[in-house]
Structure 1
Amino acid sequence: MSLGKQSKIVTDKQTEAMLAYLTRRRNGIRNRAVFLLSVKAGLRSKEIACLRWSMLVNPDGQLADAIHLTDDASKGQSGRVIPLNRNLKDALQGLYDRQRNAPGFDLASWFVVRSERSNRTSPQAVVNMFFRWYRDLGYVGCSSHSGRRTFITNAARRIGSVGGSLRDIQLMAGHRNLQTTQRYIEHDTECQRKVVNLV
């Protein structure tokens, strides 16, 4: 993937603006969760569309501290465990509380992202959601992959501070090789300027 073809990452300020925008719109609880699954867990559109509550809860039915993404919900055989960011967990908790009180709720089979007319949504519908949201806020160069790139970039920049490595990011991203993960990471010219003076 060449640098010119990559989706732009989303800044913290843009993330906050997007969350405020989604809160004011129809299906705000669901849409906030969708956006945060991208930007705070790095899920692909297909993975968001295929995510079931059974991948998010403990045996006692309470929301877990990690997403247990199965192979059938991921790209290829890239099922994985992704710890839940606290803001994402709060958003999912609100959505879970609403859905589990609905008639016919079944923990094993219910999809997290449902449409008003169907018990699930398609990966293309998720792609279209992101397209509309970014367009409405004027985020040029952003796509459904922007949240994933943002998550991988932010995690890579901070992983050393908690004793981790790029290998940990690779596992959370579900990439088979480290080079793929490295291509996702946005460079930071200011950091480059600072680090050369530390060498």
Structure 2
Amino acid sequence: MSNWTTYIKSFQSYMKIERGLSKNTIENYTFDIEKLTDFLERNHLSFNPINITEEIVQQFIYEISKYVNPSSQARIISGLRSFFLYLIFEEYRTDNPMELIEIPRIGRKLPDTLSTQEIDILIEAVDLSSNEGERNRAILETLYGCGLRVSELISLKISDLFFEEGFIKVSGKGDKQRFVPIGNLTQKYIGIYKATSRSCLNIQKGHEDTLFLNRRGKQLTRAMIFTIIKDLAVKTNLKKTISPHTFRHSFATHLLENGADLRSIQLMLGHESITTTEIYVHLDRRHLAQILNVFHPRK
């Protein structure tokens, strides 16, 4: 493993500094490489990143295919491919042993979405008599109103709110920042939360600028946001499996259905590639027929 450690650390620095990838992404790539090194150790194979062959990598992929689902296989192959491409880029290798290894075909699962009525029901179910009620309503309105990732929501700062201009500043994946429009309704509920329950908290040092706080005056965790949403789904007898990301998917889907263009949605979501955003097109093909009927000269 010692032969691998130096190259892995170098790859981690490259991902963080030059590619600006998030901590979670870097950890996932590292985990993929460590699966390969574990395979080598178990089979007493003394290959390093420079001399490992395509045949050995194929043996590894064959082994994991016995117990890892196609989606996870695809991620591991993609992670290893990126690692060896980096080694070629740094001129440690001249070939990529992953080049001829095919990623397994996986069906693309369409994201779950909520209707506007379901979102209204969930938000109306928030218990406003509780100490956290106003906060939870503001959280749901922000997730849906701005299409944020859960990590973006919990790290949102008061100094990121530019209500007069109608925008918030969001720190996305890889610390990339973008400005997202924020509607009057979402502004209203954030304002109520700030003026009521948040103002009564004993805010801990270092969290003075954090918007959404727990009862101890510290930043909320991702797990807490999942719990809030799960509890509301149970309370309203919602028969869908939902998460904070469901509100983000619903934000994009409803924008598309109401006539927003894909490029604008991409910018608001902070997707690096419009290909990622295109998944929302497949949710309702009636929208495409409407576009044809409205805009095509031979409609």
Q: How far off its partner does 1:25 sit? A: 5.7
Backbone CA RMSD of aligned residues: 2.9
Q: Which deviations, in whole Å up to 9, do the C-alpha atoms of 1:14-35 show, x marking residues without a partner?
A: 1111121014462221011111
Q: Does 1:133 align with 2:232?
A: yes
Letter in 1 for 2:190: L
Q: Does 1:46 align with 2:145?
A: no
What are the equivalent positions in structure 2 for 1:98-113 lying under 5 Å apart? 98=196, 99-100=198-199, 109-113=208-212
Residues 52 and 106 of structure 1, relative CA distance in 2, 3 Å threshold: farther
Match of 1:183 in 2: 279
Contact 2:263–2:274 (Cα < 8 Å) also in 1: yes
Structure 1 position 4 matched with structure 2 position 109: yes
Q: List gaps (5 residues or longer) in structure 2.
A: 1-70, 72-106
1:156 Cα deviation after fit = 2.3
1:36 is aligned to 141
AA of the residue aligned to 2:117: K
Query: Residues 136 and 5 of structure 1: is their aligned pair in 2 closer, same or farther, counting only changes over 3 Å?
Result: farther
Q: Given that residues 29 and 95 in structure 1 are in contact (C-alpha distance below 8 angstroms), is that contact kept between their aligned partners in structure 2?
A: yes
Q: Which has the larger displacement, 92-101 or 146-155?
A: 92-101
Counterpart-to-counterpart distance in 2, 1:183 and 1:48:
23
Which of 267, 279, 288 aligns to 1:171? It is: 267
Q: Matches of 1:5 and 1:147 in 2, distance apart?
A: 14
Q: How much does 1:173 deviate?
A: 0.3
Distance 2:191 2:144 in 1: 17
1:113–1:120 contact (8 Å) kept in structure 2:
yes
**Structure 2 residue matching 1:142: 3-state secondary structure:** coil
**TM-aligned CA deviation for residue 51 of structure 1:** 0.8
Q: Which amino acid aligns with 1:93?
A: G
- Report what 1:69 is aligned to: 170
**Residue aligning to 2:247:** 147
Q: CA deviation at 1:4?
A: 3.0
- Describe the shift of the 1:186–1:29 C-alpha distance in structure 2 as closer, same or farther (beyond 3 A): farther
Q: Please, which runs of 5 or more residues in structure 1 have no aligned partner? A: none
| Larger Cα-atom Rg | 2
Distance 1:12 1:50 in 2: 26
Residue 79 of structure 1 pairs with residue 177 of structure 2: yes
Following superposition, the deviation at residue 191 of structure 1 comes to 3.9
How has the CA–CA distance of structure 1 residues 48 and 133 changed in structure 2, closer, same or farther, with 3 Å as cutoff? same
Classify 1:197/1:157 alpha carbon distance in 2 versus 1 (closer, same or farther; 3 Å).
closer
Percent identity between the two aligned chains: 19
Deviation at 1:83, TM superposition (A): 0.9
Mark the CA change 1:151 to 1:78 in structure 2 (over 3 Å): closer, same or farther.
farther
Cα distance, 1:197 vs. partner? Answer: 6.0
Give the direction of change, closer, same or farther, for the CA distance of 1:42–1:92 in structure 2 (3 Å limit): same
* 39-48 or 101-110: bigger deviation: 101-110
1:89 deviation in Å?
A: 0.9
The number of aligned residues is 187
Counterpart-to-counterpart distance in 1, 2:182 and 2:149: 15
1:4/1:40 CA distance change after superposition, 3 Å: same
Task: Provide the rounded CA distance (Å) in 2 between the counterparts of 1:175 and 1:64.
Answer: 23
Structure 2 counterpart of 1:122: 221
Please state whether the residue corresponding to 1:4 is helix, strand or coil: coil
Alpha carbons 1:53, 1:107 under 8 Å: kept: no
What's the CA shift for 1:181? 1.0
1-side partners of 2:276 and 2:140: how far apart? 23
User: Who is 1:13 aligned against?
Assistant: 117
